[in-house]
A and B are shown apart, each in its own frame.
Chain A
Amino acid sequence: MENKDVLIYAEQEGGKVHPICFELLGKGRELAEKTGATVSCALLGSGVSDAAQELVAYGADTVYVFDDDSLAVFDPLAYKLNVARLVGEIAPGLVLFGATFAGKALAPRVATALEAGLTSNCIALELQDDGSLLQIRPAFTGTFLASIKTKSSPIMATVRYRALEAGTRDDSRKGAIIEKDVQTVQTTVKVLGKGAAKKASIAGADVVVCVGRGLKKAEDFALVQELADALGGVVGATRPLVDDGWISKDHQVGFSGTLVKPKLYVGCGVSGSPQHLAGMRDSGTIVAINSDPSVSLFRIADYSVVGDMYEVIPQMLEALKK
């Protein structure tokens, strides 16, 4: 990387900045500290200018704001046009996106428009002594970590939510906020409205009580919910329960569901398949409750309770009342 400047795509919805941006800014500042480079953000949307100051507080030196009605709904084509143009203009060495639904829809288009490589789902970015950047990502459902390097410029990556430390907020920080002209594009894609809101937000939860096929019937979710409430957390589930229609997909933890990294993960009647572990193995403290002492989840647990979840959970609830 010749130019070391960092550009961060500042994802927002309804004017609210996605917390992944604060994590990317934390990383951006850390790299800038070492290289003397600057950190900027691209903020796109309609009526989003207010969010710019928050990005400065979290570490942005410059926020480029693209505020226009035409950007009110997220359309990868229109967003790409403006982000790619900004990259051409300010020529950063590194461009980062969150590995979110929107980030993963947008980043590949921007990268391809610039004929640049893109590394997906990074969990760490390490500056090497020779100035190159190692982009570290899980491979094969987390069995391996692959360190990726890029030969094109800029280096581009999407980064998993909750993999990096967020920067610290400092409202006295000063930064430049620059309004940019917005380019529009003809598209056949029309957003008709919002669908159902997510019932559960397990991605950002501090406590996840996850249940697997140890659950005997859908009604018994009430018991799991009770434990989640007592621990101040949310309910998660393994894929078979989602496939059987016992609980909505928003609750699914794992490779084809949501990746979680709570402070406390409690798995009840969960065996710990590789696809499940891929979505929770980095949790702070892991508790496993299972009647079979040989299951994989016990191997990565801090506390393993060998027993029937239908007995253990009520006893826990009893103990928690005290």
Chain B
Amino acid sequence: MHIIVLVKQVPDIEKVQFLKDKGWVDRASADSEINPFDLNAVEAAQQMKEIPGTTVTAISMGPASAEAVLKEAIARDADRGILLTDERFAGADTLATSCALAAAIRKAGDFDLILCGEKTVDGDTSQVGPSVAERLGIPHLSFVSEISAVAEDKITMVAETASGSVIVESGYPLLITGTKDLNTPRLPTLKDKLRARKAEVEKWSAADLADMADLSKFGHEGSATWVDSISVPPEKKRKGEILKGEDSAGKLVAALDKDGLLKG
């Protein structure tokens, strides 16, 4: 089987500083890392390597520094890392991102399964996966919380729905986006990290994808949406009452009662 995983480099959302007055994220203030939601997709691919003859290709679109997330994927057993990096890819919304990623997937060769994260911590759209599937004309399943069985001709899994979940079986080709529940990503060993450090990540420019897509559909030019303005959400006016000491629980209940928030 040939499996493709899509991974993105994101700022460490727990440490990154926000310049609230400017509406900026100070990306220099914290390290970048692999999107935490993508680690579940990488782990799933890693587990599938137990099927003999399975190879994994990790693909990312981003700045040159995003090579690091592909090395991370290689440390976690990906056989090949491809970075789409070019000014022409910059400023892409999900429509343009999916165009570049789908073109790269086509160029990377025949595949069976594409694995994505549920969402990115910075983009937070959950759109890129389904959009890539649409561009490739293949079925997809979003919010897969469990992969129950994988064989060379089919995969069985559980996907989340509003009321619960469904059990689904599918052949290939297929794209899935996995949730945090999919698995617990393992940490790579020191040996794996050393091996990955030496590995070669292929770098593809927009021109390298010219046979696969219309270049005007990449990056800023190919995007259909843009951020018009950024603001800090107005904090809702809160009462801010602090209750301390002996009868604070009683006072709280009385206050909630007064506000009409108690049942009955």
Contact residues of A with B, CB < 8 Å?
A: 11, 13-14, 18, 73-77, 80, 100-102, 104-109, 111-113, 115-121, 134, 138-152, 187-198, 207, 231-232, 249, 255-256, 263-264, 274-275, 281-282, 285-287, 293, 298, 300-307, 311-313, 315-316, 318-320
Tally of contacts, chain A with chain B, CB under 8 A: 260
**Is there a chain A Cβ closer than 8 Å to B168's Cβ?**
yes
Closest residue on chain B to residue A75 by CB atoms: B139
Q: Would you give 10 A-B contacts (Cβ < 8 Å), ordered by A?
A: A76-B130, A101-B143, A101-B162, A102-B162, A105-B140, A109-B131, A146-B227, A193-B166, A255-B121, A306-B242
Q: What's the Cα separation between A57 and B141 when bound, in Å?
A: 33
Asked, given contacts A141-B121, A144-B18, A319-B253, whether A194 binds B164 with beta carbons under 8 Å apart, the answer is yes
Q: Is the CB of B233 within 8 A of A195?
A: no
Contacts of A73 in B (CB 8 A): 166
**Is there a chain A Cβ closer than 8 Å to B160's Cβ?**
yes
**Is there a chain A Cβ closer than 8 Å to B122's Cβ?**
yes
Q: What's the Cα separation between A93 and B145 when bound, in Å?
A: 35
Asked, given contacts A111-B95, A187-B139, A302-B239, whether A121 binds B252 with beta carbons under 8 Å apart, the answer is no
Q: B146: shortest Cβ distance to chain A, in Å? A: 8
Closest residue on chain A to residue B140 by CB atoms: A76
**Is there a chain A Cβ closer than 8 Å to B86's Cβ?**
no
- Tell which of A115, A144, A187, A249 touches B232, judged by Cβ atoms closer than 8 Å: A144
**Is there a chain A Cβ closer than 8 Å to B243's Cβ?**
yes
Size class of the B contact interface (CB-based, 8 Å): 35 or more
Q: Is the CB of A101 within 8 A of B261?
A: no
> Interface digits, B128-157 against A, CB 8 Å rule (1 contact, 0 not)?
111101110001111101000000001010
- Tell which of B142, B174, B242 touches A105, judged by Cβ atoms closer than 8 Å: B142
Q: What's the Cα separation between A157 and B131 when bound, in Å?
A: 14
Contacts of B171 in A (CB 8 A): 188
Q: Is the CB of B230 within 8 A of A118?
A: no
- Tell which of B14, B228, B248 touches A306, judged by Cβ atoms closer than 8 Å: B248
> Interface digits, B224-264 against A, CB 8 Å rule (1 contact, 0 not)?
11111111110110111111100111101111100101111
Contacts of A109 in B (CB 8 A): 130-131, 133-134, 140
- Tell which of A121, A150, A192, A304 touches B167, judged by Cβ atoms closer than 8 Å: A192
Contacts of B235 in A (CB 8 A): 300
Asked, given contacts A117-B95, A118-B225, whether A188 binds B170 with beta carbons under 8 Å apart, the answer is yes
Contacts of A187 in B (CB 8 A): 139
Which one of B94, B129, B130, B168 has the greatest number of beta carbons of chain A within 10 Å?
A: B130
Closest residue on chain A to residue B241 by CB atoms: A303
- Tell which of B121, B133, B233 touches A145, judged by Cβ atoms closer than 8 Å: B233
Q: What's the Cα separation between A204 and B248 when bound, in Å?
A: 29
Q: Is the CB of A145 within 8 A of B230?
A: yes
Q: B249: shortest Cβ distance to chain A, in Å? A: 3
Q: Is the CB of A231 within 8 A of B172?
A: no
Contacts of B226 in A (CB 8 A): 148-149, 151
Known A143-B20, A275-B14; 13 more pairs at CB < 8 Å: A104-B127, A108-B130, A109-B130, A118-B95, A141-B13, A187-B139, A189-B169, A190-B168, A249-B180, A281-B236, A285-B256, A300-B235, A315-B249
Closest residue on chain A to residue B255 by CB atoms: A303
**Is there a chain A Cβ closer than 8 Å to B93's Cβ?**
yes
Asked, given contacts A80-B134, A194-B167, whether A146 binds B230 with beta carbons under 8 Å apart, the answer is yes
Q: What's the Cα separation between A270 and B257 when bound, in Å?
A: 23
Q: Is the CB of A148 within 8 A of B225?
A: yes
Q: A239: shortest Cβ distance to chain B, in Å? A: 9
Q: What's the Cα separation between A101 and B169 when bound, in Å?
A: 18
Q: Is the CB of A117 within 8 A of B224?
A: yes
